[in-house]
Amino acid sequence: MKVILQNDFHLTTAKVEVDDEQSVLSPNQYNRAMRKLCGIKCCYCGGLRGKITDEQDNEIDYMFQFVSGRQTIELLGYVK
């Protein structure tokens, strides 16, 4: 499944392919998405400033996690 991360400050999006069984983005997927959402080194927007949705625009709840000392995102399920 593809999930879409949004940055409402820069009006950018990043699509990430996630296995249906996988609920955590790999650290590499997370870093690539953050660079696409905001590539400005001195910006304080935080990268992910918006929601995460699937391709049908259903909102997905998420939580920041650390995997092997690197930040990533865990997808928790659909928002009701």
pLDDT in tens, 31-59: 999 999 998 889 988 888 899 999 999 99
Q: Tell whether the model's pLDDT for residue 22 goes beyond 80.
A: no
What is the C-alpha to C-alpha distance for residues 19 and 56, in angstroms, rounded to an integer? Answer: 17
Write down the pLDDT at residue 15.
96
User: In angstroms, what is the C-alpha Rg of the chain?
Assistant: 12
Strands 59-67 and 2-7: unpaired
Write down the pLDDT at residue 78.
93
Domains contained in the chain, number: 1
Domain that holds residue 60: 2-78
Starting at the earlier edge strand, list the strands of the sheet with 59-67: 12-17, 2-7, 52-54, 59-67, 70-78
